[in-house]
Chains A and B, each alone.
Chain A
Amino acid sequence: MADQSHSKPVHHQEYEKKQHREEMKQQVLTFALMILFTFIAFGMVIFEVDSYFIIPTLIILAVVQVAFQLYYFMHMKNKGHDMVAVMMYGGVAVAALTIITFTSIIWW
C-alpha cells in the first residue's frame, strides 16, 4: 500500500489514484469470479454431474481460485515478488515429485 503522503508531486498522486482504481476493479472482478466458481462447483455436485467430468473440473477451478488468491489478493502479480514465486513453485515442484514417485514407483 502506497501511502498518500502530501510530499509527492501532483501528477504522481494522480497516477497512484488511477493505479488504485485499476487495482480495485481487478479485485472486485476476481472476487466475483471466485464466487461464481464456487457456485459452479457446488452446483455440479448437487446436480450429480458425471464424476469423470466433475473431478478434473473441480481441480481446475480450485487451481484457478488459488491463483486468483495469490496473484490478485496477495499481490504476487505486482513487482518484487519474484523470489516468493521461485520459492513457492520450487516447493510445489518438490511436493509434486514426491507424489509422482509414490504413485508411480511405490503404489503402481
Chain B
Amino acid sequence: MSTAVAQKRGLGAVIWDYLTTVDHKKIAHLYLVSGGLFFLIGGLEAMIIRIQLMKPDNDFISAGLYNEMITMHGTTMIFLAAMPLIFAIMNAVVPLQIGARDVAFPFLNSLGFWLFLFGGLMLNVSWFTGGAPDAGWTNYAPLSTTSPGHGVDYYVMGLQISGAGTLIGGINFLVTIVNMRAPGMTYMRMPLFTWSVFVTSTLILFAFPALTVGLFLMMFDRMFGSAFFDVGLGGNAIIWEHLFWIFGHPEVYILILPLFGAFSDIFSTFSKKRLFGYSAMVFATVLIGFLGFMVWAHHMFTVGMGPIANSIFAVATMAIAVPTGIKIFNWLFTMWGGQIRMTAAMLWSIAFIPSFTIGGMTGVMLAAAAADFQYHDTYFVVGHFHYVIVGGVAFGLFASLHYWWPKMFGKVLNEKLGKLAFWPFFIGFHLTFFIQHFLGLMGMPRRYWVFLEGQGLATGNLISTIGAFFMAIGTIIFLINVVYTSVKEKKVSGDPWEHGRTLEWSIPSPPPHYNFVQTPLVRGLDPLWVEKMDGKEGMTPAEPLGDIHMPNASILPFTISLGTFIAGFGFIYQVDDPIWLVAVFAGMGLTLGSMLTRSLKDDLGHHIHKEELEEDIKKGVGK
C-alpha cells in the first residue's frame, strides 16, 4: 500500500513511523485498522448473542456472560467501531476536500487517536480480568452502580479515556474546517461531506462533555464512595439517564451525519450530476444537528417525566423527520436523470435509502410517546436502531470505503468482490432486523437472556440468527476483497472514478505527504468539476511554488495516552488495595511529564524545499 517505500526501511521503522506520525493520512490508516478490528470483535459478540437466541431456552452462554456480551457489543460497535471508522474517513478526506496540507492541530490529531485506542483496549482488557461491563451500553444506574466486580469500572475508565480522544478529534476538525480552507473555498462551496463533518464536530463538542460529566459522577460513585445516583443516600438515578442521553442522542447523529455527507458526494459523483438542492442539504444538515439536541428525553418516555415533558420531546423528535425527509428527496432527485454508474459504492448508497427510511419511520412511531409505552425496551427498539445504524452508518462506511479506498491506498477495491460482499450483507441485514420489529410487537423484551418455548418467538428468532450469518459472510468477503485488492489490483490515477468533482480527486492517489504541491484556487462548488468544464486538466494554483512547512512526528501523543491507560488501571484497582495508587501516580506522571515536555520543547516543524517539490513534480506528483 502506501507504505511501499517504508517497507524497504524494515518493519521496526514502519511501526515507529506509525507510532509517531502526525500525518492525517496515516492517522486515517490507524483509525481504519483499529476501528476495523473492533468492528470484528463487536461482530463476533453479535454472533454469540444471535446464537444464544437461535432457539428457545438455549444455554449456549450463561446469563451473566450474555449480559456482558450485549453490553460490550453495543459499547464496542458505537464507540470503538463506528466512531473510529468515521474518524478514519474524516481524516483521510476532509483536509483533501478543503485543499489543506494537514489538519489544524496534527499533534492533537495523533493524541486523539491514541487516547481512543488505549480507551478501547482498556474496555476489552476487562474480558480477561474477571468480567466485562454488564449493565448495558447505556449503563443505567442503579444497575451499574451496584454491578459487582470491576466490569463497569472498565466501562467508566475506558470510555472516559477514549471519549477525551473523540472530543479532541472533534475540536480539531472544527478548527481545521473553519481556518484551513483553500482560497475561494467559501462555506457554501464546501463539499457536503466536509459540511457534515463540520456539523458533526460541533455536535461532538457540545455532546461529549455531558458524557464526560456523567462518567465522572459514575466514577466517584463506584470508586470513591459518593452517592450521586444512590437514592438511598439522597442521590437520583435519573440524573445518569439524562446526562447519558443528552450525550447519547446527539451521538447517534454524530454517527449518521458524516455518512449522510458521504452519500451526497457519492450520489453526485456516480450520477455525474451536481448534488440536487445543495443549499437545502446544508440547511437540513445544520437543522438536524440543532434539533438533535432537543430530543434526548425520547429515550425516557417511560421514566415518568409527566405528560407535558413527554409531549414536548415527542413533537421535537418528530420534527427531525422533516430535514431527514428533505435529504432523502434530494438524493433521489440527484440521481433522477443522472448518468448513473452502478459501482459498489453506489450499490451500498442506493440500498441505504430504503433501509434508512424504514428506520426513520419506526423512529417516528417510537416518538409517539403514548405508543412508546408499548414499544419501549422491546425488540421493536432493537429493530429501529439497527435499521438506522446498520442501514445508515454501516452501509455508509462500506460505501465510503469503496469510494475513497483509491484515495487512501492507491487502488480501487475489486468491484466484483465488492458487489459479492454487498448482497449477502444486504439480504442478511433485512433478514436479521426486519423480523425483530414483529418480535418486539409480540412482546419480546430486549436484553433478555432466553425466551421460552410456546411464546411464538422461535421462528422469528431463528430467521434473525440466519440473517446474522449472512451478514458475517458479507463482511468476510469484504475482508477478502481488501487482501485481494492489495495483492492483485493495479495502481490507479488521481481521479480513478473519472467523474471526480471535489478537490481530493485533483491530486495523486495516495497523495504525497504534503497533499498539494501548490494550494489550489477554488472557483465554485465542486471545484475540480468547474475546472474540467473549462477544459482544464487540474486545479489552478493559488500560490507560487515554494517551500512547504510541515509538522514533525512525535512520540508524545502515544506516551500521554499510555499514561492515562496505566492510571486508569490504578483508579480501578485502588479500591481493592491502595498500593495501586502507585499506578495512578506513575501513569499521571507519564502523561503530565509528556505534556510538560511538549510545552517546554520548541518543535517548529520542518520545511519541504522547493527543489524536492520540483523533483516530485517531474515524477508526476504535480498534476
The yes or no answer to B239 lying at the interface (CB within 8 A) is: yes
A98 touches B246 (CB 8 A): yes
Minimum CB distance partner of A107 in chain B? B236
Stretch from A27-35, A39-47, A54-62, A89-97 at the B interface:
A89-97
Interface size class of A (residues with CB under 8 A): 10 to 19
Using Cβ atoms and an 8 Å threshold, which residues of chain B touch A83? 178
A97 touches B242 (CB 8 A): no
Number of A-B contacts (CB under 8 A): 35
Using Cβ atoms and an 8 Å threshold, which residues of chain B touch A91? 205-206
The yes or no answer to B309 lying at the interface (CB within 8 A) is: yes
Minimum CB distance partner of A86 in chain B? B202
Given contacts A83-B178, A105-B309, contact A94 B239 (CB under 8 A): no
Q: Shortest Cβ distance from B284 into chain A, in angstroms?
A: 18
Q: Shortest Cβ distance from A85 into chain B, in angstroms?
A: 12
The yes or no answer to A102 lying at the interface (CB within 8 A) is: yes
The yes or no answer to B305 lying at the interface (CB within 8 A) is: yes
The yes or no answer to A19 lying at the interface (CB within 8 A) is: no
B202 touches A87 (CB 8 A): yes
Given contacts A83-B178, A97-B293, A97-B294, contact A102 B239 (CB under 8 A): yes
Using Cβ atoms and an 8 Å threshold, which residues of chain A touch B206? 90-91, 94
The yes or no answer to A101 lying at the interface (CB within 8 A) is: yes
Cα separation A56 to B555 with both chains bound (whole Å)? 51
Using Cβ atoms and an 8 Å threshold, which residues of chain B touch A105? 242, 297, 305-306, 309
B236 touches A106 (CB 8 A): yes
Candidates A93, A97, A104, A106; contact of B238 at CB < 8 Å:
A106
The yes or no answer to B361 lying at the interface (CB within 8 A) is: no
A102 touches B242 (CB 8 A): yes
Interface size class of B (residues with CB under 8 A): 10 to 19
The yes or no answer to B319 lying at the interface (CB within 8 A) is: no
Using Cβ atoms and an 8 Å threshold, which residues of chain B touch A102? 239, 242
The yes or no answer to B210 lying at the interface (CB within 8 A) is: yes
A106 touches B242 (CB 8 A): yes
Cα separation A102 to B294 with both chains bound (whole Å)? 14
Cα separation A90 to B246 with both chains bound (whole Å)? 14
Q: Shortest Cβ distance from A48 into chain B, in angstroms?
A: 32
Using Cβ atoms and an 8 Å threshold, which residues of chain B touch A94? 206-207, 246, 293
Q: Shortest Cβ distance from B369 into chain A, in angstroms?
A: 14
B210 touches A98 (CB 8 A): yes
Cα separation A104 to B238 with both chains bound (whole Å)? 13
Q: Shortest Cβ distance from A35 into chain B, in angstroms?
A: 33
Interface string of A59-93 (1 = CB under 8 A from B): 00000000000000000000000010001001101
Using Cβ atoms and an 8 Å threshold, which residues of chain B touch A101? 242, 246, 297
Cα separation A93 to B207 with both chains bound (whole Å)? 12
Cα separation A87 to B179 with both chains bound (whole Å)? 14
Using Cβ atoms and an 8 Å threshold, which residues of chain A touch B236? 106-107
Using Cβ atoms and an 8 Å threshold, which residues of chain B touch A93? 293
Q: Shortest Cβ distance from A91 into chain B, in angstroms?
A: 6
Cα separation A83 to B201 with both chains bound (whole Å)? 13
Minimum CB distance partner of A84 in chain B? B178
Cα separation A58 to B178 with both chains bound (whole Å)? 36
Cα separation A101 to B309 with both chains bound (whole Å)? 9
Q: Shortest Cβ distance from A100 into chain B, in angstroms?
A: 11
Tell which of A91, A97, A101, A105 has the most Cβ of chain B within 10 Å.
A105
Can you list 27 contacts pairing A with B, beta carbon distance less than 8 Å? Answer: A87-B174, A87-B202, A87-B205, A90-B202, A90-B206, A91-B205, A91-B206, A93-B293, A94-B206, A94-B207, A94-B246, A94-B293, A97-B246, A97-B293, A97-B294, A98-B210, A98-B242, A98-B246, A101-B297, A102-B239, A102-B242, A105-B242, A105-B297, A105-B305, A105-B306, A106-B238, A106-B239
- A residues at B contact (CB < 8 Å): 83, 87, 90-91, 93-94, 97-98, 101-102, 104-107
Q: Which 9 A-B pairs have the closest CB atoms?
A: A94-B206, A83-B178, A105-B305, A105-B309, A106-B238, A94-B293, A98-B246, A91-B206, A101-B242
Known: A87-B202, A94-B246, A97-B293. 18 other contacts (CB 8 A): A87-B174, A87-B205, A90-B202, A90-B206, A91-B205, A91-B206, A93-B293, A94-B206, A97-B246, A97-B294, A101-B246, A101-B297, A102-B242, A104-B309, A105-B306, A106-B236, A106-B239, A106-B242
